[in-house]
């Protein structure tokens, strides 16, 4: 039976300096997959380890199914074995001397489950992860992706209330990672299991998560659906981390509801979405994604002239460097043919919905 996970004002201080986790709060309803996304050192894995009971929080509370499992202020700290959780690690963490079936049945041996029932539960878990035909095979004879499927089956075979996954795909090669990523969401949804997943890979987060929480320097910056995170990032860091590699700086000269006109120098102006509480005269920094620039478009959004200065053909897409509005920007077009030659002058569309203006507090590189 799955359960709600509630994390309230979680803080973890290892030693001097800033906390590894600093006042993080969120909830995961039953059956939902929440992904914690962020760069190395942002506190996402420490948060997950606190939920698992592998780290002891400095303060805050963690509840699973309405039961407080960690609260330093109340003197509560349940060990991992009493939290009814499953966990899949970055390493495969399988027992190399056992077969696939022996690995998966192992957690059931300590739960007083009869042989007939445990056999059925193992068969169901192996079928879910696509390993039924490998049940009697030595686990060391499997590929990396198959070993991680064994680890997943072992973690879900006893149907824990909560499943924790710590970058489980990061040790796989690119092709296996993509395949198992897609299968993993299907498997979790079939079990109806509540899951907390940690990754630094935005594509994993978007595919797997019902909601995504973006973290930086121990803090949770934004929690939302993949669409909200991708299309309405809360701040410049979230925008940059999820792929908005282009930036323009300027001054807001006029606002019209949720949109504003920004002067970006040399008399050039663009309309952009205002994602902070901004007033005319405020300095702003505009972020936008390469894939939202349309080369050769004569309608829709801000239409400006640009020159193609370079291009990089990737087979299924082409990345262009374009000189526009006194800046060099990056544009991306899907397709197996590169359409624009270097040196070409063309109209370019910058849709105002896809240009996000934030209060200018300096670039991330300056912080």
Whether the CB-CB separation of 331 and 295 falls below 8 Å is answered with yes
Whether the predicted pLDDT of 58 surpasses 80:
yes
Q: Which two tokens stand for residue 209?
A: 């998560």
Whether the predicted pLDDT of 365 surpasses 50:
no
Task: Write the DSSP symbol of residue 232.
Answer: S
| Residue that wins the pLDDT comparison between 1 and 94 | 94
**Which is nearest to 11 in space by CA: 51, 49, 47?**
47
Name all domains of the chain by residue range, CATH numbers in brackets: 5-238 (3.40.50.300), 246-362 (2.40.50.140)
> Cα 312 vs. chain centroid, distance in angstroms?
27
CA distances from 127 to 101, 142, 162, 351 (A): 12, 16, 20, 47
**Rounded CA separation 228/238 (Å):** 11
Give the orientation angle of helix 174-191 with respect to helix 144-156, to 10 degrees: 20
Q: Which residues pair with 285 in a beta bridge?
A: 249, 358
Whether the predicted pLDDT of 292 surpasses 80:
yes
Q: What average pLDDT does range 62-91 have in this prediction? A: 94
Whether the predicted pLDDT of 12 surpasses 90:
yes
pTM of the model: 0.90
What pLDDT does 354 receive? 93
What pLDDT does 299 receive? 75
What pLDDT does 366 receive? 47
**Rounded CA separation 140/100 (Å):** 9
Q: Which two tokens stand for residue 220?
A: 């949770």
What pLDDT does 109 receive? 85
Q: Which two tokens stand for residue 211?
A: 């909601």
Which band of pLDDT confidence, cut at 50, 70 and 90, is reported for residue 234?
very high
Residue with tokens 């972020």: 287
């Amino acid at each position: 039976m799955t359960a709600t996970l509630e994390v309230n004002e979680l803080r973890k201080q290892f030693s001097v300096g800033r906390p590894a986790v600093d006042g993080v709060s969120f909830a995961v309803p039953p059956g939902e997959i929440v992904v914690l996304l962020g760069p190395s050192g942002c506190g996402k894995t420490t948060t997950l380890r606190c939920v698992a009971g592998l780290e002891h929080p400095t303060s805050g509370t963690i509840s699973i199914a309405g039961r407080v499992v960690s609260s330093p202020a109340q003197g509560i700290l349940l060990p991992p074995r009493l939290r009814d959780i499953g966990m899949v690690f970055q390493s495969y963490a399988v027992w190399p001397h056992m077969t696939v079936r022996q690995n998966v049945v192992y957690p059931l041996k300590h739960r007083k489950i009869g042989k007939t029932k445990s056999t059925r539960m193992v068969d169901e878990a192996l079928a879910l992860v696509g390993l039924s035909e490998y049940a009697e095979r030595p686990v060391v004879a499997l590929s990396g992706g198959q070993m991680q499927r064994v680890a997943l089956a072992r973690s879900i075979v006893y149907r824990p209330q909560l499943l924790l996954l710590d970058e489980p795909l990061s040790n796989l090669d690119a092709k296996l990672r993509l395949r198992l990523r897609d299968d993993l969401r299907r498997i979790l949804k079939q079990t109806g299991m509540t899951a907390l997943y940690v990754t630094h890979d935005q594509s994993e987060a978007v595919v797997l998560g019902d909601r995504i929480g973006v973290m930086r320097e121990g803090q949770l910056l934004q929690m939302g659906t993949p669409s909200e995170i991708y299309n309405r990032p809360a701040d410049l860091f979230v925008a940059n981390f999820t792929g908005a590699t282009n930036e323009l700086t300027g001054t807001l000269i006029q606002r019209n509801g949720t949109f504003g006109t920004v002067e970006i120098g040399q008399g050039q102006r663009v309309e952009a979405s205002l994602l902070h509480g901004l007033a005319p005269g405020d300095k702003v920094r505009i972020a936008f994604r390469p894939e939202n620039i349309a080369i050769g478009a004569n309608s829709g959004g801000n239409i400006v002239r640009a020159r193609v200065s370079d291009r990089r053909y990737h087979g299924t897409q082409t990345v262009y460097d374009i000189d526009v509005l006194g800046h060099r920007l990056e544009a991306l077009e899907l397709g197996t043919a590169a359409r624009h030659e270097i040196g070409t002058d063309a109209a370019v569309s910058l849709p105002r919905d896809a240009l996000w203006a934030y209060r200018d507090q300096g670039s991330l590189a300056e912080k």
